[in-house]
Chains A and B, each alone.
Chain A
Amino acid sequence: MLKKIRVTLSILLFTLITLYFLDFRGYLPEWIQWLTKIQFVPALLALNVVVLVALLLLTLLFGRVYCSAICPMGIYQDTVAWLSKRVNKKKRYHYSKAKNGLRVIVLASTVVAFIFGFTLLVGLLDPYGAYGRMVTHLLRPAYLAGNNLLASIFTAFNNFTFYKVSVYIVSVSSLVIALITLLGIGYMAWRGGRSYCNTICPVGTLLGFLSRYSLFKVRINEEKCNACGLCAMKCKASCIDAKNRKIDYSRCVTCFNCLESCKRNAMKYRPNVPWKKKRQPRIVENQEPTGSLDASKRRFLTALLAISIPAKNLIAKVGSESPLSKRAFKRQTPIMPPGVPSIDHLLQKCISCHLCVSKCPSRVIKPALLEYGLGGMMQPKLYFDRGFCNYDCTVCGDVCPTGAILPLTKEEKNHNQMGQVQLILENCIVYHDETSCGACSEHCPTQAVRMVPYKGVLTIPEINPEICVGCGGCEYVCPAIPFKAIYVEGLTMQRRIEIEHDEVKEIQIDDFGF
């Protein structure tokens, strides 16, 4: 029964969170985004105290329910492990010793790296973020291709329920990392069930500390147990030492597979209630030797301090040297998604789950390579090769579960400057060819680029970077080849701009005019 509840719940949550990443048409109700906000690391980064307290309490009461039902990476591993059992029916798990040294070292180094501003490690290891990248870079292209196939079929019958979307690789580096994650964790799950969760995953290790003390546990009735070992064969966490009738609760992910396997009904998921002590079997927990660990912890931390200083060789303001020939622009500072107050904020808060990359309707967010430094690898930046940031759109900030991209209202977004327009006049069509253009100004929502009288009846762009929001409409659309005449330079800090509007004047037109 307990197992059924766990399986049902986990499949449900897993499906919903995956679909949430994929749903580019916004069919799913908005509350589903809570599935990303109740993930442990996002809640921690967003300082979402309510969720954190709830997750910790959940663990203290019922064990690592988070790992078994909420974490999408956990359920991915369960799926792989289940498949491996289908392929090899004789497959059995067996108890293995806890690799607590490794667990603590990984957790500690992640924490220390994070404290010193090197968020990449958390980003790489956090199971939610890693799963998000797998969906964004591996599953989503397939999903979009499937959509396009349906669109082709339906459109052939004059049905426009589906529409085509472009399918392309957003970022090769993130794709490779997602692939390595998929294969690496997949391999571990195929071989040994939840071994990622119980060796590397920093969240698993942390919750494992708590789950030793949780109220409800799978407890062995030593009087009934004959140490047959059936339970251990079913234990995907390899945490049941059947011979000694012990369970390593720090690794137990409360999957309840053992409960059903026991033929003698010797296992119960129940609290350790003192007044039933007489009937209670003696529980022996797997105690960890702590002294030696502390020493290794300390050594590792010291070593890590030396290497984890983030590479912050960013940010040189663009020079104002006057150009001489048709030239390409080079963005000096990456453009952060709207609502990221500063690069430091982004570096600290973003674990690169790439939900913003998946959800951006204009598809202008992509993972950075080294523009933010090594520590900011895979964190989101804007690029305008395929589109530009919609003036009124606030999706990325609305969905960001870690608070790296803070939510903006439409009014705030309209006045949020994430970059400043730069004009390279000698590349401009009007200047160069002396023909009309105005594509840049056409797209500019604030008229930071406006067309002013030039030769004869021609108009030429004039920029006012002060009122530029940095949406990139001008850069995207500028038709000058090979080098664009207008682009957006990023800022290390986003800021609010004031845009003055003329008063609305009533103009009456009573005549035809011809």
Chain B
Amino acid sequence: MSILSQSFEAADGASKYDLVAVLGGEPEVMFRKAITEMGGMSNFINKGDKVCVKPNIGWDQPVEMGANTNPKLVAEIIKHCLDAGASEVTVFDHSCDDWRKSYANSGIEDAARAAGARVVPAHQESYYKSVSIPKGKSLKNAKIHQAIVDSDKWINVPILKNHGGAQLTISMKNYMGIVWDRGFFHANDLQQCIADVCTYEKRPVLNVVDAYRLMKTSGPRGRSLSDVVLSKGLFISQDIVAVDTAATNFFNQAREMPLENVTHIRKAEELGLGTTNLEKLRIGRLRV
């Protein structure tokens, strides 16, 4: 995979697959299966690495609403990072709702701490550092959270949801939680900015899409349980375009969502961030 080898040194061929999809299990079980197929976490994390795990902790909603990444999945990823020799694991998100409530009520704060990670705040501008995005079309620079900027590796752990503006929020849209000024994105062609920010030089070593629950309507916050489908899926890849394409196709089974509607995915492909052509990839399809 030329795209991957450009960005990552870690992909040393130990993985049989470019993308692994798992269905039918609990979040942590599906992840264990997926990461094994990807060659184990040590394929991506080196001993002594400072790792940042970035879930979606956007909303003051309980786990059942599927508005935030599943805490069991986050905890499992943290454990794998530490087992692979990470010197520390940091977890944060720039929440939309009150960050204290979102961290607590999502269940992620407790789960991540229990798993050995450090949960850090992201509600103040002073936690962010200015970086330039030279390959961006609309977004030329951004303030990105220091936990990402100062990390050796980071893992992107979004949850699959409907989004009123961007149509879907998956791995790329999850980047909006690492930046300070989200308003700029919304005001300057949201879909292009989402693709642009993904060109930031420090790419996630893995994108792990939590589709254990997917929010099919009223996203990204959700109104009631009728918005949520217990879909029991998980997708993992280094290729952010591919993993979002796969997740979009998966979502399409719960509610019609053609890839063309989620325009940031194509825009990212145009920026050379990955491929929407899943046929070209080696995909592992597993069931628990």
Q: Do A and B come from one complex?
A: yes
* Residues 457 to 488 of chain A near chain B (Cβ within 8 Å): 457, 459, 477, 479-481
* Minimum CB–CB distance for A273 against chain B, Å: 57
**Which residue of A450, A480, A499, A513 contacts B164 across the interface (Cβ within 8 Å)?**
A450
User: How far, in angstroms, from A158 to B119 measured CA to CA in the complex?
Assistant: 11
Known contacts: A361-B98, A457-B260. The answer to whether A442 contacts B249 by CB under 8 A is no
Q: Is the CB of A509 within 8 A of B246?
A: no
Q: Is the CB of A513 within 8 A of B121?
A: no
Total interface residues on B, using CB and 8 Å? 59
A433 part of interface (Cβ distance < 8 Å): yes
User: How far, in angstroms, from A507 to B216 measured CA to CA in the complex?
Assistant: 10
**Which residue of B100, B165, B231 contacts A437 across the interface (Cβ within 8 Å)?**
B165
* Residues 218 to 234 of chain B near chain A (Cβ within 8 Å): 218, 220-221, 223-226, 229, 231-233
Q: Is the CB of B186 within 8 A of A429?
A: yes
Closest to B232 in A: A509
* Residues 415 to 455 of chain A near chain B (Cβ within 8 Å): 429, 433, 435-439, 441-447, 450-451
User: How far, in angstroms, from A143 to B96 measured CA to CA in the complex?
Assistant: 26
A306 part of interface (Cβ distance < 8 Å): no
* Minimum CB–CB distance for B181 against chain A, Å: 9
Query: Which residues of chain A have C-beta atoms less than 8 A from B98's C-beta?
Result: 361-362, 387, 390, 393
Known contacts: A501-B223, A507-B229. The answer to whether A435 contacts B189 by CB under 8 A is yes
* Minimum CB–CB distance for A490 against chain B, Å: 22
Query: Which residues of chain A have C-beta atoms less than 8 A from B250's C-beta?
Result: 509, 512-514
Task: Tell me how many residue pairs across A and B have CB atoms closer than 8 Å.
Answer: 142
Q: Is the CB of A439 within 8 A of B186?
A: yes
Q: Is the CB of B101 within 8 A of A361?
A: yes
- Interface 1/0 per residue, A381-421 and B, CB below 8 Å: 00000010011110000000000000000000000000000
A320 part of interface (Cβ distance < 8 Å): no
User: How far, in angstroms, from A447 to B283 measured CA to CA in the complex?
Assistant: 38
Name which of A441, A459, A479, A512 has the most chain B CB atoms within 10 A of its CB: A512
Known contacts: A361-B98, A443-B221, A503-B226. The answer to whether A164 contacts B253 by CB under 8 A is no
User: How far, in angstroms, from A430 to B278 measured CA to CA in the complex?
Assistant: 31
A160 part of interface (Cβ distance < 8 Å): yes
A166 part of interface (Cβ distance < 8 Å): yes
User: How far, in angstroms, from A391 to B190 measured CA to CA in the complex?
Assistant: 26
Query: Which residues of chain B have C-beta atoms less than 8 A from A504's C-beta?
Result: 224-226
Total interface residues on A, using CB and 8 Å? 48
B252 part of interface (Cβ distance < 8 Å): yes
User: How far, in angstroms, from A391 to B224 measured CA to CA in the complex?
Assistant: 13
Q: Is the CB of B191 within 8 A of A436?
A: yes
User: How far, in angstroms, from A165 to B231 measured CA to CA in the complex?
Assistant: 39
User: How far, in angstroms, from A190 to B59 measured CA to CA in the complex?
Assistant: 51
Closest to B24 in A: A510
B153 part of interface (Cβ distance < 8 Å): no
Closest to A503 in B: B226
Q: Is the CB of A438 within 8 A of B223?
A: no
Known contacts: A390-B98, A429-B186, A480-B187. The answer to whether A441 contacts B164 by CB under 8 A is yes
**Which residue of B188, B190, B221, B226 contacts A502 across the interface (Cβ within 8 Å)?**
B226
Query: Which residues of chain A have C-beta atoms less than 8 A from B226's C-beta?
Result: 501-505
* Minimum CB–CB distance for B154 against chain A, Å: 17
B167 part of interface (Cβ distance < 8 Å): yes
Q: Is the CB of B101 within 8 A of A390?
A: yes
B261 part of interface (Cβ distance < 8 Å): yes
Query: Which residues of chain B have C-beta atoms less than 8 A from A433's C-beta?
Result: 189
Q: Is the CB of B184 within 8 A of A447?
A: no
Known contacts: A160-B120, A501-B223. The answer to whether A459 contacts B60 by CB under 8 A is no
User: How far, in angstroms, from A291 to B32 measured CA to CA in the complex?
Assistant: 90
Query: Which residues of chain B have C-beta atoms less than 8 A from A209's C-beta?
Result: none
Query: Which residues of chain A have C-beta atoms less than 8 A from B223's C-beta?
Result: 445-447, 499, 501
Name which of A362, A446, A447, A477 has the most chain B CB atoms within 10 A of its CB: A447
A163 part of interface (Cβ distance < 8 Å): yes
B245 part of interface (Cβ distance < 8 Å): yes
Q: Is the CB of B97 within 8 A of A429?
A: no
Q: Is the CB of B220 within 8 A of A457?
A: no
- Interface 1/0 per residue, B116-136 and A, CB below 8 Å: 001111011011000000000
**Which residue of B164, B182, B254 contacts A509 across the interface (Cβ within 8 Å)?**
B254
* Minimum CB–CB distance for A13 against chain B, Å: 28
Q: Is the CB of B224 within 8 A of A451?
A: no
Closest to A481 in B: B187
* Minimum CB–CB distance for B71 against chain A, Å: 18
* Residues 11 to 61 of chain B near chain A (Cβ within 8 Å): 21, 23, 60
Closest to A444 in B: B221
B263 part of interface (Cβ distance < 8 Å): yes
A30 part of interface (Cβ distance < 8 Å): no
* Minimum CB–CB distance for A312 against chain B, Å: 34
User: How far, in angstroms, from A362 to B167 measured CA to CA in the complex?
Assistant: 28
Query: Which residues of chain B have C-beta atoms less than 8 A from A451's C-beta?
Result: 164-165
A511 part of interface (Cβ distance < 8 Å): yes
B285 part of interface (Cβ distance < 8 Å): yes
Q: Is the CB of B163 within 8 A of A442?
A: yes
**Which residue of A391, A442, A505, A507 contacts B220 across the interface (Cβ within 8 Å)?**
A442
* Minimum CB–CB distance for B245 against chain A, Å: 7
B166 part of interface (Cβ distance < 8 Å): yes
Query: Which residues of chain A have C-beta atoms less than 8 A from B191's C-beta?
Result: 435-436
Query: Which residues of chain A have C-beta atoms less than 8 A from B182's C-beta?
Result: 439, 479
Query: Which residues of chain A have C-beta atoms less than 8 A from B188's C-beta?
Result: 435
Q: Is the CB of A442 within 8 A of B165?
A: yes
Known contacts: A164-B126, A438-B164. The answer to whether A507 contacts B254 by CB under 8 A is yes
User: How far, in angstroms, from A446 to B227 measured CA to CA in the complex?
Assistant: 12
Name which of B182, B187, B245 has the most chain A CB atoms within 10 A of its CB: B187
Q: Is the CB of B121 within 8 A of A438?
A: no
User: How far, in angstroms, from A512 to B278 measured CA to CA in the complex?
Assistant: 12
User: How far, in angstroms, from A387 to B21 measured CA to CA in the complex?
Assistant: 39
Q: Is the CB of B249 within 8 A of A514?
A: yes
Q: Is the CB of A436 within 8 A of B190?
A: yes
User: How far, in angstroms, from A510 to B97 measured CA to CA in the complex?
Assistant: 33
Closest to A24 in B: B100
Known contacts: A160-B118, A391-B60, A514-B250. The answer to whether A459 contacts B164 by CB under 8 A is yes
User: How far, in angstroms, from A450 to B162 measured CA to CA in the complex?
Assistant: 12
User: How far, in angstroms, from A397 to B253 measured CA to CA in the complex?
Assistant: 44
A-B contact pairs, 18 of them (CB 8 A): A160-B120, A163-B124, A164-B121, A393-B98, A429-B187, A436-B191, A437-B187, A438-B166, A438-B186, A447-B218, A451-B165, A510-B23, A512-B21, A513-B249, A513-B251, A513-B253, A514-B245, A514-B283
Listed from nearest, the 9 A-B pairs whose CB atoms lie closest are A438-B165, A451-B164, A438-B164, A479-B183, A441-B164, A514-B249, A502-B226, A479-B187, A479-B186
Beyond the given A438-B163, A438-B164, A439-B183, could you list 6 further A-B residue pairs with CB under 8 A, ordered by the A residue number?
A433-B189, A435-B188, A439-B186, A477-B186, A505-B226, A514-B21
